[in-house]
Structure 1
Amino acid sequence: MAPVTYSRFIRFLQEELSISTDSIAIAQRHLEQDPGPLPMILWQYGLVTIEQLDRIFDWLETA
């Protein structure tokens, strides 16, 4: 993901889905240890619901 798109994605998580900065930071730390798609890490650690995960994938398709 391009840096500009990534920053827009983080802003989407915070503003549209109300995901806390702390939750995003947790997922990013896990991402460094176990690379994978950030949305899936957020979901695996219970930081987003399945409905939010669907919205994330919808957003990513149009980004």
Structure 2
Amino acid sequence: MIYTTNSINPPSDELCNFIIDKLGISQSALELGVKRSSLENSPLPIVMRSYGLITIKQLQIILLWLKEN
């Protein structure tokens, strides 16, 4: 884990809606990801992948969506 004084921005509502609506991830999995992302001060998609909440393919889809939005 990396400790830093700079906090990462929380995930946007649009990103959370995309993860639930387009990828079919459960609300509880997203909530766990958001919580861990905040605690670890890490990007939500990376945390969700590291905890096995999304697949590599889903991570790629999220990263493409982030790039386009």
2:61 to 55, 59, 63: 55
User: When the two structures are superposed, what TM-score results if normalisation uses the length of structure 2?
Assistant: 0.81
Unaligned runs of 5+ in 2: 1-7
Distance 1:7 1:22 in 2: 15
Q: Name the stretch that deviates more: 49-58 or 22-31.
A: 22-31
Which amino acid counterpart does residue 10 of structure 1 have in structure 2?
C
Which amino acid counterpart does residue 11 of structure 1 have in structure 2?
N
Provide the aligned length of Structure 1 versus Structure 2: 62
Mapping 1:1-63, distance limit 5 Å: 6-63=12-69
User: When the two structures are superposed, what TM-score results if normalisation uses the length of structure 1?
Assistant: 0.88
Larger radius of gyration, structure 1 or 2?
Answer: 2
When the two chains are superposed, the root-mean-square deviation of aligned CA atoms in Å is 2.0
Shift of 1:17: 0.2
User: Deviation above 4 Å: which 4+ runs of structure 1?
Assistant: none
Matched position secondary structure for 2:12? helix
Unaligned runs of 5+ in 1: none
Shift of 1:32: 2.3
Calculate percent identity across the aligned residue pairs: 29
